[in-house]
Amino acid sequence: THFGFETVAEAIKEQKVRGVFSSVASSYDTMNDLMSLGIHRLWKDHFVRNLNPGRNPLASTSTPTSTPGSASEPQGWNILDIAGGTGDIAFRMLDHASTINNDAHTRVTVADINPDMLTEGRKRALSTPYARSPRLKFIEANAETLDMIPSSSIDLYTVAFGIRNFTHKDTALREAFRVLKPGGVFACLEFSKLQNPVLDAVYKRWSFGAIPLIGQVVAGDRDSYQYLVESIERFPSQTEFRDMIKEAGFLVPGQGWEDLTGGIAAIHKGVKP
């Protein structure tokens, strides 16, 4: 605004988000289990299986239309996992590329704004085959300003349970569009809106009532968990978010999203034309 209040409020929000994730970094799995009733692992498995990362060298002639990037490239995919935190999605994508697509070249850059989450991710990488591999990289970056990532260089951009924390979601979507190659895919897994009003009432009761309380008991941190519940509530509906993706320039296949567990979470996709 004229007096810069908006900028101050945004800076405070960004600081708050940093603080929340610094304090939940070590109790991260507990947090996810609480917020998703334990189902986040299945959603993440489904998200990755559905994206089918990697370029199968034996099936190069039958490239599906949904395969990002240029089919003529011999090497694997260049994937950017934004708000990748502890590496949950990145490890799954590398495992999938290696074991399902026999692709030992696909690489993932995990970008996150929070150094504590990245530290947790690097620590976890030590128990995977990718710890010292050039296929996995961690960088500290804000999704809204990815200056270190060249334009049109990424085959697949993923963001799981991250975008609702961004201050300017539209700016982050435009950055996603910029860094993707033509044909590249934007894929987002995020908490969403339950379609059934009865289930929605039950879930709201659970999330607003129990989660901050359990956060306090389990992690000694009520405020962070309260913030996370509220950030889910504030996030746009499936159709609104689909329209934001279109607004950033993406082509949206079909209705544009897939509901998971009745809409507790949803996967949105967009393709850069």
216 exposure class (CB count in 10 Å sphere: 0-12, 13-18, 19+): middle
| The one among 69, 85, 215, 256 contacting ligand SAM by CB under 6 A | 85
Q: What is the DSSP string of 78-116?
A: EEEEET-TTSHHHHHHHHHHHHTT--S--EEEEEES-HH
- Comparing CB distances to ligand SAM, the nearer of 16 and 183 is 16
Q: Is 10 helix (H, G, I), strand (E, B) or coil?
A: helix
| The one among 97, 125, 146, 160 contacting ligand SAM by CB under 6 A | 160
Q: Which stretch binds ligand SAM (CB under 6 A): 58-66, 96-104, 113-121, 240-248?
A: 113-121
Enter the tokens of residue 97: 């590329």
Token look-up 């260049």 returns 78
Q: Does 47 engage in binding with ligand SAM (CB under 6 A)?
A: no
Enter the tokens of residue 236: 């746009």
Q: Is 145 helix (H, G, I), strand (E, B) or coil?
A: strand
Q: Looking only at residues 89 through 108 of this chain, which bind ligand SAM when binding is defined by CB under 6 A?
A: 89
Q: How far is the CB of 85 from ligand SAM (least distance, A)?
A: 3
Q: Does 117 engage in binding with ligand SAM (CB under 6 A)?
A: yes
Q: Does 109 engage in binding with ligand SAM (CB under 6 A)?
A: no
Indicate the DSSP class of residue 221: -
Q: How far is the CB of 134 from ligand SAM (least distance, A)?
A: 21
| The one among 86, 98, 101, 238 contacting ligand SAM by CB under 6 A | 86
- Comparing CB distances to ligand SAM, the nearer of 47 and 55 is 47
| The one among 34, 48, 97, 113 contacting ligand SAM by CB under 6 A | 113
Phi, psi of 66 (to 5 degrees): -80, -5
CA distance 267 to 46: 10
Residues making contact with ligand SAM (CB under 6 A):
17, 21, 82-86, 88-89, 112-114, 117, 142-144, 160-162, 165-166
